[in-house]
Amino acid sequence: MIVSNLTLSELQSRLLGEGLTIASGPFNFRLQSGFSDIVPDLARLYAHHPLITDDAFIDFHVAIEAGRGLRRWLGAQARFVVDGVEPFTPLPQAQALPMIEWGLNWCISAYSQHVLVLHAAAVARGNRALIMPAPPGSGKSTLCAALVNRGWRLLSDELTIIRLDTGEISGLARPVNLKNASINVIRHFAPEAFLTKPVRDTVKGTVALMAPSAQSVRDVGQAAQPYWVVLPHYRAGASTALVPMQTGAAFLQIAENAMNYHVLGIRGFDAVGQLVDRCRHFNFEYSDLEEAIAQFDLFAPEG
């Protein structure tokens, strides 16, 4: 059974009661919330995700709750609570939906010390994965969303999960976070994709969420082998340029974007070293998405 099998009233009832239990790759989470206005978008964003059985292990018990005291009515707020802990400052209620995604990313980053967690987007063609570690503003999520809408399989737009035992990537296939100008860029590039209404004045600017493709969610358990590491950089008016990167520079970039590298110690060092050894590495500058997709299709043809 998947989320789209529920009616909106059934979905809202679960959120208000025992919780909506969803599988996202190797993680299971239970979500509860009394905010009825997030239900329609949540149903579209997670339409193809499987609902898990009551006896399954839950990694994260998550609730998006109303503010306390007068904040329930004046300047209404949303609070993110995981397993009874409230790790963030409350946000305006209008930001409740993206808060779910930000909070789940925090949960995985904070509690998953059995894997290497990279702040990076990851997509796959067949069983070969492309990893894009990059700082905010680099065009990483925009490029990720564009690739997914041109036949690549979404693994994650924010967190790349590397297994320590096999070196494989565990996909999440959760919604893609788009910010500011990228929202309209993707709306025009892929008008068939579902994007939520923009939420303004967040700490990240204006944000919207793009639903993962049905195929990405269905194939989330398919093994993905790291094959390419590409550091994207969007620059207005730039020509499309894919330039090989030295191994040492690639190691530093990956380690810098490994969110639990320091916690894993020698295991983290070995995991990054093995990842670097098995991948081809590039710097990539672009301004035109169609040209960017064509460039990726050259070195990663379908099949």
Cβ proximity of 287 and 237 under 8 Å: yes
The list of the chain residues with pLDDT below 70 reads: 69-75, 301-303
Please give the sequence-ordered ranges of beta strands (E in DSSP) within the chain, or none if there are none: 20-24, 27-33, 60-66, 77-82, 91-92, 115-125, 128-133, 153-156, 159-163, 169-170, 176-179, 199-202, 205-210, 225-234, 241-244, 280-286
Burial 232-241 (b: 16+ CB within 10 A, else e): bbbeeeeebe
State residue 67's pLDDT score.
83
Q: For residue 42, what are its two tokens? A: 């949540």
pLDDT for the residue numbered 70: 52
- Whose tokens are 């081809």? That residue is 280
Strand arrangement, sheet containing 60-66: 20-24, 27-33, 60-66, 77-82, 91-92
Evaluate whether 257 touches 117 at the Cβ level (below 8 Å): no
Rounded Cα distance between 163 and 275, Å, is: 10
End-to-end CA, the chain: 30
Task: Kindly report the backbone phi and psi dihedral angles of residue 297, in degrees, each rounded to the nearest multiple of 5, phi listed first.
Answer: -65, -25
Per-residue pLDDT of 236-260, as tens digits, reads 999 999 999 999 999 999 999 999 9
Lookup result for tokens 């979404």: 154
The DSSP element (H or E) to which 263 belongs, if any, is: helix 261-264
Signed CA dihedral, 144, 301, 170, 274: sign only: negative
CB 161 within 8 A of CB 170: yes
**Domain extents for the chain?**
3-111, 115-299
Instruction: Name the strand (E) or helix (H) holding 271.
Output: helix 266-278
Q: What is the pLDDT of residue 303?
A: 46
Q: Enter the DSSP assignment of 279.
A: S
